[in-house]
């Protein structure tokens, strides 16, 4: 949630700040602001409600110049989205400005205390207490003041601070919220995500919890550990290609990321099959322990949870191990039964989702071991698990998860095969067949991308509905859940997914000619049953969009629209049907005039409960 940027060096800070905030806007876009130290004693803070474009206009109009500044794009937690609650927040003197990602849990208590000592507050945010705490501790040393202030905080924070006394310095720190720094001949940079820095440097340092970095205008960066002693971290080289953070000719990131999926699936599975065996070197240390497991619990949120539902089928079919799949926000408040024979698989694209992180922590405290699947190698989820697997989807910028979902599913399939082999349930012939089948998926996805005109026709037919129902069975049902989520989140159209066999137990009462029904009717063991369900909803007047296997002409007679997908083993069907549903949701959202990359009320990573 939220994005932080900062620059100190040679040149105009505002250019870097605005460009960086635009890059990080996918992380939050309720309001944005910058603080620029123009010269000693002169700090200018500008905030605007709404998107970064609003702020950019204001910064230009007001002609803000200065070579040291910090910026923030916000997804509101404490305090409504407004100019007054937008970051940066300042202290009583107006000399200190702070930008913050995360949540300060004890802010009410601190605020009372600060109020009683005469501080005046301008906003409803938790962040503002930090500016006042720094104000109280500042005696000419920003690092020391920041350390003193953060020692009072309970919660999570990534922080960047400037002081008008120090026009050549930015102090940054973090706890459970990412902060990345880097430098070049131009100066020193900070971001809450390396993507804000990659145009300036490819070598970055991920700051560790409770460490402080002091960025200087000549590009030098001093690092201090939790014990306040200097240390010298090794930078991490970021090897994303230059196109990663740009739309490269696509109208939006969502479409770009949908089109990247054939390549992503190939990248995800690359190297997993070696000489008739599965290859998971990342799990070597857990190898003998994995032989002892008698249960698996999968945790995740949203789309990642849906990937988990698919993985349950893989694991139970191929490894014959009982699996439960839990929404992380529910899991953490139950009394789950786990022990040292339980494998927990945490699925999180960002590696930052607060509920999933907590679920990992709880599971490990009960003796279970956790393997995390993530797209962010240095993320907390990766670091706080016993092992992690990189889904290799490359950075995903559109708020709606697309390519990360496919990568998760493909990798979970490989992992389930691996465990199936370990449990003695599968042999080299199964692996060979599986390898050939999954290797065909990228080309099959490309085929679906070519179906866009037909998908657009279906989208037009459904875009005026007030609600869309998705039905399917088995893997088709999970794809429906994911399809309905995509539609809801980017088009704001109400959508529900039901197991097709369940509709006559209630949901069919919703059906009339105004409620289109999307049915996953690909070839599977339950195909005939799904056809019966199509007839049931058709009889109630519903307009029907079927996702069917190419060559299935009979389905045309029963439905109004058909989107054909290539023939594929049923277990891999989510890798293709979901692509059709992603495009379907996007087309409807565009028809309705929605911003598909930055849907209202959402942000890319949910780092708060």
**Token pair of 446, please?**
């490309």
- Between CA 96 and CA 92 the distance in angstroms is 8
Question: Strand 517-521 to strand 467-472: parallel, antiparallel, or no bridges (unpaired)?
Answer: parallel
**Per CB under 6 A, which of residues 474..493 are in contact with ligand F6R?**
485, 489
SS3 percent helix, strand, coil of the chain, rounded to 5, is: 40, 25, 35
Nearer CB in complex with ligand F6R: 16/75:
75
- With 0-12 / 13-18 / 19 or more C-beta atoms within 10 angstroms meaning exposed / middle / buried, residue 600 is exposed
Least gap, CB of 106 to ligand F6R (angstroms): 26
Task: Tell me the HSE value of 395 on the side-chain side, using a 13 A CA sphere.
Answer: 23
In whole angstroms, how close is the CB of 96 to ligand F6R at the nearest point?
33
The residue assigned the tokens 């490990």 is 364
Give the shortest CB-301-to-ligand F6R separation in angstroms. 4
| 49, 111, 486, 604: the active-site residue | 604
Give whichever of 91 and 587 is closer to ligand F6R, judged by the CB atom. Answer: 587
Q: What is the C-alpha separation between 361 and 368, in angstroms, rounded?
A: 10
Residue 20 or 302 with smaller CB distance to ligand F6R: 302
- Residue span 416-455 as binding mask against ligand F6R, x where in contact by CB under 6 A, dash where not: ----------------------------------------
Indicate which single residue of 261, 350, 524, 526 sits in contact with ligand F6R (rule: CB under 6 A): 350
Q: What are phi and psi of 182, to 5 degrees?
A: -165, 170
**What x/- string results for residues 256 through 295 when contact with ligand F6R is judged by CB under 6 A?**
----------------------------------------
Calculate ∠ Cα 74-77-78, nearest 5°. Answer: 110
- Give the residue with the Cβ less far from ligand F6R, 146 or 401: 401
In the complex with ligand F6R, the residue whose CB is nearer, 357 or 520, is 357
Which residue in the block uniquely carries the two structure tokens 């205390």? 113
Tell me the residue nearest to ligand F6R as measured from the CB: 302
Q: Which of 150, 304, 372, 573 binds ligand F6R (CB under 6 A)?
A: 304
Q: Is the Cβ–Cβ distance between 29 and 73 less than 8 Å?
A: yes
Taking the mean position of all CA atoms in its chain, how far away is CA 366? 27
Residue 330: exposure state from Cβ atoms within 10 A (0-12, 13-18, ≥19): middle
* Contacting residue, 349, 372, 385, 577, with ligand F6R by CB under 6 A: 349
DSSP notation for 546-576? EEEETT--HHHHH-SEEEEE----GGGTHHH
The residue among 348 and 394 lying less far from ligand F6R, judged by its C-beta, is 348
Cα–Cα distance between 206 and 105 in angstroms, integer? Answer: 24
Closest CA to 537 of 526, 554, 521: 521
462 among known catalytic residues: no
- Using CB under 6 A as the binding rule, whether residue 524 contacts ligand F6R is answered as no
Whether 313 and 475 have beta carbons less than 8 Å apart is answered as: yes
The closest alpha carbon to 71, from 132, 14, 144, belongs to: 14
For tokens 């990228």, name the residue: 442
333's tokens: 């408040």
Which residue shows structure tokens 């857990």?
Answer: 286
328 vs 571 by CB, closer to ligand F6R: 328
Report the nearest approach of ligand F6R to the CB of residue 454 (Å): 23
Specify the stretch interacting with ligand F6R by CB under 6 A; choose among 50-58, 157-165, 300-308, 465-473. Answer: 300-308
Sign of CA dihedral 121, 122, 124, 126: negative
Q: Kindly state the smallest distance separating residue 282's Cβ from ligand F6R, in Å.
A: 19
Specify the residue, 134 or 400, whose C-beta has the smaller distance to ligand F6R: 400
Segment 373-412, which members bind ligand F6R (CB under 6 A)? 400-401
Taking alpha carbons only, the member of 288, 296, 571 closest to residue 413 is 571
Q: Which of 192, 303, 577, 582 binds ligand F6R (CB under 6 A)?
A: 303
User: Of the listed pieces 3-11, 241-249, 264-272, 298-306, which binds ligand F6R according to CB under 6 A?
Assistant: 298-306
Backbone phi and psi for residue 37, each to the nearest 5 degrees, phi listed first: -90, 110
Nearer to ligand F6R, 559 or 605 (CB): 605
User: Which member of 2, 166, 462, 480 is catalytic?
Assistant: 2
199 token code pair: 């145009």
CB of residue 398 vs ligand F6R: minimum separation in angstroms?
Answer: 8
CB of 8 to ligand F6R, least distance (A): 31
Say if residues 396 and 406 touch (Cβ distance below 8 Å): no
Assess 325 for contact with ligand F6R (CB under 6 A): no
Residue of 172, 211, 301, 565 that binds ligand F6R (CB under 6 A): 301
| Closest CB 482 distance from ligand F6R, rounded Å | 8
Does 583 participate in binding ligand F6R (rule CB under 6 A)?
no
423 in active site = no
Instruction: Choose one: 174-182, 234-242, 299-307, 418-426; the region binding ligand F6R (CB under 6 A).
Output: 299-307
Provide the minimum distance between the beta carbon of 445 and ligand F6R in the complex, in angstroms, as a whole number.
18
Q: In whole angstroms, how close is the CB of 487 to ligand F6R at the nearest point?
A: 11
The closest alpha carbon to 127, from 74, 170, 50, belongs to 74
195 binding ligand F6R? (CB under 6 A): no
d(CA 328, CA 362): 11
**497 contributes a contact to ligand F6R by CB under 6 A:** no
- Site for ligand F6R contains 302 (CB under 6 A): yes
Instruction: List the one residue out of 146, 197, 196, 137 whose CA is nearest residue 169.
Output: 146
Question: What are the catalytic residues?
Answer: 2, 604
Residues engaged in binding ligand F6R (CB under 6 A): 301-304, 348-350, 353, 356, 400-401, 485, 489, 605-606
């Amino acid at each position: 949630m939220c994005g932080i940027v900062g620059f100190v060096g040679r040149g105009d800070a505002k250019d870097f700040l605005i460009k960086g905030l635009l890059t990080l806007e996918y992380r939050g876009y309720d309001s944005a602001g910058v603080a620029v130290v123009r010269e000693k004693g002169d700090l200018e803070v500008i905030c605007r409600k709404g998107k970064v474009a609003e702020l950019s206009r204001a910064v230009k109009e007001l002609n803000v110049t200065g070579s040291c500044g910090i910026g923030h794009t916000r997804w509101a937690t404490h305090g409504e989205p407004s100019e007054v609650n937008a970051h940066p927040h300042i202290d009583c003197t107006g000399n200190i400005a702070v930008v913050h990602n995360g949540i300060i849990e004890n802010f009410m208590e601190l605020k009372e205390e600060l109020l009683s000592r005469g501080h005046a507050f301008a906003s409803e945010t938790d962040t503002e207490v930090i500016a006042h705490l720094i104000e109280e501790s500042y005696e000419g040393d920003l690092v020391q003041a920041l350390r003193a202030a953060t020692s009072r905080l309970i919660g999570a924070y990534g922080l960047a601070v400037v002081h008008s006394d120090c026009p050549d310095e930015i102090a940054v720190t973090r706890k459970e919220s990412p902060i990345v720094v880097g430098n070049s001949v131009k100066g020193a940079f900070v971001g809450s995500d390396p993507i804000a820095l990659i145009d300036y440097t490819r070598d970055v340092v991920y700051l560790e919890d409770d460490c402080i970095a002091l960025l200087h205008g000549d590009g030098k960066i001093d690092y201090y550990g939790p014990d306040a002693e200097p240390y010298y971290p090794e930078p991490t080289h970021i090897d994303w290609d230059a196109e990663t953070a740009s739309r490269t000719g696509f109208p939006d990131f969502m479409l770009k990321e949908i089109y990247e999926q054939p390549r992503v699936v190939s990248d995800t599975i690359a190297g997993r099959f070696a000489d008739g065996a599965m290859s998971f070197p990342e799990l070597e240390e857990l190898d003998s322990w994995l032989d002892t497991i008698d249960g698996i619990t999968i945790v995740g949120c949203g789309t990642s949870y849906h990937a988990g539902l698919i993985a349950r089928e893989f694991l139970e079919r191929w490894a014959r191990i009982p699996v439960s799949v839990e929404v992380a926000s529910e899991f953490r408040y139950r009394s789950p039964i786990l022990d040292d024979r339980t494998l927990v698989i945490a699925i999180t694209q960002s590696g930052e989702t607060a509920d999933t992180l907590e679920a990992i922590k709880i599971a490990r405290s009960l003796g279970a071991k956790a393997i995390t699947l993530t797209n962010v190698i240095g993320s907390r989820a990766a670091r706080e698990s016993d092992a992690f697997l990189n889904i290799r989807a490359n950075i995903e910028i559109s708020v709606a998860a697309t390519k990360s979902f496919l990568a998760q599913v493909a990798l979970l399939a490989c992992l389930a095969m691996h465990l199936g082999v370990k449990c003695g349930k599968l042999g080299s012939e199964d692996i060979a067949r599986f390898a050939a089948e999954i290797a065909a998926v990228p080309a099959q996805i490309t085929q679906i991308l070519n179906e866009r005109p037909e998908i657009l026709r279906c989208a037009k037919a459904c875009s005026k509905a007030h609600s869309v129902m998705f039905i399917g069975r088995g893997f088709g049902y999970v794809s429906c859940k994911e399809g309905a989520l995509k539609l809801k989140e980017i088009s704001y159209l109400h959508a529900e997914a039901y197991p097709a066999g369940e509709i006559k137990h209630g949901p069919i009462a919703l059906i009339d000619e105004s409620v289109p029904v999307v049915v996953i009717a690909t070839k599977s063991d339950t195909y005939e049953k799904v056809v019966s369900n199509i007839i049931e909803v058709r009889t109630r007047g519903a307009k029907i969009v079927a996702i069917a296997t190419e060559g299935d002409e009979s389905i045309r007679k029963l439905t109004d629209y058909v989107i054909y997908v290539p023939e594929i083993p049923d277990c891999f069907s989510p890798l293709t049907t979901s692509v059709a549903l992603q495009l379907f949701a996007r087309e409807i959202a565009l028809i309705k005039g929605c911003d598909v990359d930055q849907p209202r009320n959402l942000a890319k990573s949910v780092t708060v409960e």
